[in-house]
Copies of this chain bind each other. A is one copy, B any other.
Amino acid sequence: MNKPITNPGQLASLAGSPEPVTICGRVYKIRRMSGFAFLLLQLSRPDSSGSGLLQCTWLPELAGDLSELPAEQSCIALTGQVVSEPRSHSGYEVRAVSVRVLSTPIEDLPVVINNKALDMNLETLLDYRPITLRNEKERALFRIQEGICQAVRAFLSAEDFTEIHSPKLVSEGAEGGSNIFRLDYFGKEAYLAQSPQFYKQTMVGVYGRVYEIAPVYRAEHHDTSRHLNEYIGIDLEMGYIEQFQEIMELETQMLTAVFRHLNEHQAGELALWKAVLPVIPEDGIPCMTFAKVKETVRRLRSANPIQAENIPNSHPAPESEPTLDPNSNSSLDLEPEEERLICQWIKQQTGSDFVFVTHYPSAKRPFYAMDDPENPEVTLSFDLLFRGLEITTGGQRIHSYPEQTAKMRQRGMNPEDFASYLMIHRYGMPPHGGLGIGLERLTACLLGLSNVRQTSLFPRDIHRISP
């Protein structure tokens, strides 16, 4: 017996062949017609349309009585003939001759998952995630995410970056603050890594350029549409830079490569989501300093307060969004509303879906961020905003031992607590910097989704740790 087919790419060439083929898949949908039926078989991989659905016809004279049709969600091995059928989107269909049922559901699904889009609220979609992911459009989403990772790896590998695996169980938190998960590690306190920061810097001392795509943990107490407690970080770090703008240039090239890859390999999946690939202007992504952004937002708000309030809110802030205290942090960081506003303005002014915001205040950046020698109040750092949302934080790091220990002491930190990290500064580090991209945020902004939970297979938030 020939191996059963699970990939539609193998089928097209068989159209018209008298040889029957056996195809394995899931019964996605049965459409009973007058005297026959369509059986939509869901294959493991999509064809070039982005869909993995294969139209099969069940003609009683060939396949048996309609009462023998397998149940929806059954997994089957269907034997039939591939025939040309111009009315099918693929140009062919399969006429069932026989079906072997491999497994059947024990009951009907509790939710409808075989429509074009899932019609249910987010909580239900996530409660039933193991089966709602079987929806064709959901499948397409995470294939797009796979495409992003593949394109990132191909790009970085060609740019001489080495892939690393750093530990997620750590003894020192890199980002500080209270949003860190603690656990007992054989009687010692350990943490879940908030970022691979220390390790990717360490590995720049080894390989010059490194990257990692791996989970990152933030014990965020906020229940917002932008935060996950476990997310996939695309982290890179590069040595021998002359200025931090080189990291922004690299990210621009990388994103360009990612969108080119998706356009070539996942146009079908993107079309299922009606996703429009973003615009990166030919002369690069526009850059504004943090101070300039603040000033522009102020101007926009005062000049046209009604327009500012009417900005399409693609990332609505839920009720528990931390409230803005105008006396404290508002001058040191951008509020979500400000990020949306500046992105809309940049889009109007330049056509760009992205904007780099540079020179964030030193007070709000971690201790390893390099201050601007011309103005130590700000850092040689940047965020990348994409359609209203921050998807990247990056910047140049301090590489000199005296500078790093001085800045730590300034902040009331004891360098001895970070002895193993500081080993790299002590024994020579090239000038370097890097960035971290949130994979779920990038995917959400690309597809125009308002909640990052939609772009995580099994999201973790303050309320949810299952399924």
Chain A interface residues (CB < 8 Å from chain B): 4, 6-7, 24-26, 43-45, 73-75, 77, 102-107, 109, 128, 130-131, 133-134, 138-139, 142-143, 145-146, 149-150, 153, 157, 160, 162-172, 181-186, 188, 190, 192, 199, 202-203, 205-209, 214-215, 217, 219, 221, 229-230, 232, 239-240, 399-402, 420-421, 423-424, 426-431, 439, 456-460, 462-463, 465-467
Of listed A77, A102, A230, residue having the most chain B CB within 10 A: A102
The residue in chain B whose Cβ has the minimal distance to the Cβ of A74 is B428
A-B contact pairs, 29 of them (CB 8 A): A4-B240, A6-B208, A24-B208, A24-B239, A26-B430, A43-B208, A44-B160, A74-B428, A103-B430, A106-B402, A128-B423, A133-B203, A133-B206, A139-B207, A145-B165, A146-B163, A165-B457, A167-B457, A168-B230, A169-B192, A170-B465, A171-B466, A172-B466, A181-B184, A183-B192, A186-B463, A199-B457, A215-B215, A420-B467
How many copies make up the complex?
2
Give bound CA distance, A24 to B183, whole Å.
41
> Do residues B186 and A184 form an inter-chain contact, with CB atoms below 8 A?
no
Min CB distance A454 to B, Å, is 14
Q: Told that A6-B208, A183-B183, A202-B467 touch, could you supply 7 new A-B pairs with CB distance under 8 A? A: A4-B240, A26-B428, A75-B428, A102-B430, A106-B426, A138-B206, A146-B162
Min CB distance A95 to B, Å, is 21
> Do residues A183 and B181 form an inter-chain contact, with CB atoms below 8 A?
yes
Partner pick for A44 among B215, B239, B456, CB 8 A cutoff: B239
Give bound CA distance, A186 to B431, whole Å.
39
> Do residues B105 and A428 form an inter-chain contact, with CB atoms below 8 A?
yes
> Do residues A240 and B402 form an inter-chain contact, with CB atoms below 8 A?
no
B-side contacts of A232, CB under 8 Å: 165
> Do residues B103 and A428 form an inter-chain contact, with CB atoms below 8 A?
yes
Min CB distance A242 to B, Å, is 9
Give bound CA distance, A99 to B225, whole Å.
51
Partner pick for A206 among B134, B157, B219, B466, CB 8 A cutoff: B134
B-side contacts of A402, CB under 8 Å: 106
Closest A-B pairs by Cβ, 7 of them: A44-B208, A420-B467, A183-B183, A75-B430, A24-B240, A105-B428, A73-B428
Min CB distance A171 to B, Å, is 4
B-side contacts of A163, CB under 8 Å: 146, 149-150
> Do residues A429 and B103 form an inter-chain contact, with CB atoms below 8 A?
yes
Min CB distance A169 to B, Å, is 5
The residue in chain B whose Cβ has the minimal distance to the Cβ of A401 is B106
The residue in chain B whose Cβ has the minimal distance to the Cβ of A135 is B206
